[in-house]
Amino acid sequence: MNINLTLFGQMIAFFFFVWFCMRLVWPPIVAAMVARQEQIAEGLETADRAKKDLDLAQKRAMDELKKARAEAAEIIEQARKRSAQMVEEAQRDARAEGERLKQAATADVEQELRRARETLRAEVSALAVVGAERILERSVDPQAHAEMLDRLVADL
Amino acid sequence: MASGFETTAEEYISHHLVNATFGRFPDGHERAGQWGFAGSGSEAESMGFWALHVDSLGWSIGLAIFFMWFFRRVAVTAAQDPAAIPTGLRNFIETLVEFVDGMVKSVFKHPDTSYVAPMALTIFVWVFFMNLMDLVPVDLIPYIFQYGLGVEYMKIVPSTDPNITMGLALSVFSLIIFFSIKQKGLGGFLAEISFHPFGKWLLPFNLILEVVGLLAKPLSLGLRLFGNLFSAEMIFILIATMYTGLLLGLFGGLLQFAWAVFHILVVPLQAFIFMVLSVVYLAQAYEEGEEH
């Protein structure tokens, strides 16, 4: 338990080992730790950015999808409208055609009727003339009675 | 005290308290003037100041080389591949470095920690290993040396030697003085111990107060470590004297174990205290004294 030269021996050893630690141990270890910290920070940042990118992409995809769906719905709506319109148009056309055919038929019938009436009238007037001739037993001048006959024909 | 060795408890204890001392034999000794190992405690004492505790210093330096070798190995791999994923030893040492670095940065406010932090790490690990030697069974290595190698005295716990603890404390103290003067100038340093705390009209009183305060730093540092470890070692030795019979021996073994378990707490704690106080004292050396 004597104080002796060991004291100074220990002091010299202390300064040597502190110097050793200061020069050859501490700086490389701390530098490596700092380097790794930076690397980890960078990695985390990259991951963060990637996550943000993914979120953005997902959002964009969702938007695209929504837009496409809306477009599709619009197209379907348009198609439905168009088809309804077409059906309506067809109906209208058909109705118009039917009307036209009916009118044509009516006109035909009327014409036929008129023609028949014309024929009938001519025949009736001739018959009337023959009848009158027969009644009067003499020839009747058709020119003298033409006016009377025409009136008769118009009355028919 | 193992049975079969004819020693009394008193002889056993005092034998354990003598260092392997290398020095010059004093006048009046039969080998006066020669250099050699002291053969007894009183011989070691008579060698005076110019003697060396070969065991304390040897174990101390050996332990320092041991852990510095590990640190250096990690430092080399770290320098080669800074960004590699750390494994095993490197992980452990980096944890230690980070722990010390955080501690130093929280106490030492000056931005330049390039010497304080390595110093703190060296102190912490070194003192830790020196204290750890206390957990080696008290007789194991001394007996190997005594009966295997013929070395009579062998103390393997460097921190139970006041030379070692005071050597560390005085080294820290010299750093405190050096950085005080470097930071404040010689005049500033002298002014700090002369004009505080009572102003220049009570200069002698200030001087006494401040010098005592200054000297208390290394004394408390060194003696705290020495006192803690020496007393713990002493208890290990005292319990070891119980190895005289089967029953008492078993009880002694149990006590040794219990004390060792308790001592596990003391080993890192004293190392930590030594490191923290060293850093605190050095931080104070950098502090500018408050104006009066």
B83-142: per-residue pLDDT in tens?
Answer: 777 788 888 998 999 999 999 999 888 888 888 999 999 999 999 999 999 888 888 888
C-alpha A31/C-alpha B76 separation (Å) is 12
| pLDDT tens for each residue of chain A, 156 residues long | 678 888 999 999 999 999 999 999 999 989 888 888 898 999 999 999 999 999 999 999 999 999 999 999 999 999 999 999 999 999 999 999 999 999 999 999 999 999 998 888 888 888 888 887 787 776 666 676 777 777 777 776
Buried b / exposed e along A141-152 (16+ C-beta atoms within 10 A): eeeeeeeebeee
Residue B166 pLDDT greater than 60, yes or no: yes
Answer yes or no: B228 catalytic: yes
Instruction: Answer with the residue of higher pLDDT: B178 or A139.
Output: B178
Quick check: B107 contacting A, CB < 8 Å? no
What per-residue confidence (pLDDT) applies to A65? 96
Which of B56, B206, B228, B278 is labelled catalytic?
B228
Residue B270 pLDDT greater than 90, yes or no: yes
- Using a pLDDT cut of 90, give the percent of chain B over it: 39
ipTM comes to: 0.87
In this predicted structure, which of A40-49, A65-74, B3-12, B21-30 has the lowest mean pLDDT?
A: B3-12
Q: Torsion angle of alpha carbons A88, A89, A95, A98, nearest 10°?
A: -140
- Which helix (DSSP H) or strand (DSSP E) does residue A16 occupy? helix A6-20
What per-residue confidence (pLDDT) applies to A152? 74
Q: Do B78 and A28 touch (CB under 8 A)?
A: yes
Instruction: Answer with the residue of higher pLDDT: B2 or B10.
Output: B10
From B56, B226, B209, B241, select the one nearest B139 (Cα to Cα). B241
Average pLDDT over residues B39-65: 87
**CB-CB contact of B206 with B194 (8 Å):** yes
Helix (H, G, I), strand (E, B) or coil at A118: helix
Taking each continuous run of H as one helix and of E as one strand, the counts in chain A are 3, 0
Q: pLDDT grade, residue B189 (50/70/90)?
A: confident
**Residue ranges of B 212-231 with Cβ closer than 8 A to chain A:** none
Q: pLDDT grade, residue B4 (50/70/90)?
A: very low
Q: pLDDT grade, residue B291 (50/70/90)?
A: very low
Contacts of B48 in chain A (CB under 8 A): 2, 4
**Residue ranges of B 180-209 with Cβ closer than 8 A to chain A:** none
Lay out the sheet containing B21-24: strands in order across: B35-37, B21-24, B51-53
Average pLDDT over residues B250-263: 91
What per-residue confidence (pLDDT) applies to B273? 95
Antiparallel, parallel or unpaired: β B21-24 and B51-53: antiparallel
Instruction: Answer with the residue of higher pLDDT: B216 or B10.
Output: B216
The closest CB to that of B167, out of A1, A14, A24, belongs to A14
What six digits make up the tokens of B226? 């020495």
Answer yes or no: B91 catalytic: no
What six digits make up the tokens of A49? 């950015």
From B19, B222, B12, B260, select the one nearest B133 (Cα to Cα). B260
Answer yes or no: B24 catalytic: no
Average pLDDT over residues B1-18: 69
Residues A132, A135, A139, A144, CA torsion sign: negative
Q: What is the DSSP-derived secondary structure letter of residue B34?
A: -
For B274: left if phi > 0, alpha if psi spans -120 to 50, otherwise beta; the answer is: alpha
Contacts of B60 in chain A (CB under 8 A): 10, 13
From B154, B263, B276, B21, select the one nearest A9 (Cα to Cα). B21
**CB-CB contact of B3 with B243 (8 Å):** yes
Structure pTM?
A: 0.74
Q: pLDDT grade, residue B278 (50/70/90)?
A: very high
Helix (H, G, I), strand (E, B) or coil at A59: helix
From B64, B98, B94, select the one nearest B77 (Cα to Cα). B94
Quick check: B166 contacting A, CB < 8 Å? yes
Average pLDDT over residues B241-252: 84
C-alpha A105/C-alpha A118 separation (Å) is 19
Quick check: B104 contacting A, CB < 8 Å? no
Which of B3, B106, B220, B231 is labelled catalytic?
B220
Chain centroid to CA A123 = 68
